[in-house]
Amino acid sequence: MTTTTDGRRIVALLRISAPGRDTTPSVRSWCSCGRDLVAFGQRKAAALVADHTRHRTLCPLLTEGKEAA
């Protein structure tokens, strides 16, 4: 399990690497539900960012308790 310095648990993360001109951007979408996807290239990276955003609205680990709030 991954935690922050203040003890909170990290459930999902999106890591974007865009190192500079004439290089290939990459994106990693990770969730503690088992999701671990990687994309390389501008179009695929942008599609994975959109998919990660969609996943955050559907994953039971991320939506649990939001209904009550």
Indicate the pTM of the whole model: 0.76
Two tokens, residue 8:
């909170």
CB 42 within 8 A of CB 66: no
In a structure prediction context, what are the per-residue pLDDT tens digits for the chain, which is 69 residues long? 566 677 777 788 999 998 888 899 999 999 999 999 999 999 999 999 999 999 999 998 887 755 544
Report how far residue 39's alpha carbon sits from residue 16's, in angstroms, rounded to the nearest whole number: 10
Delimit the domains of the chain by residue range.
12-59
Two tokens, residue 1:
């399990």
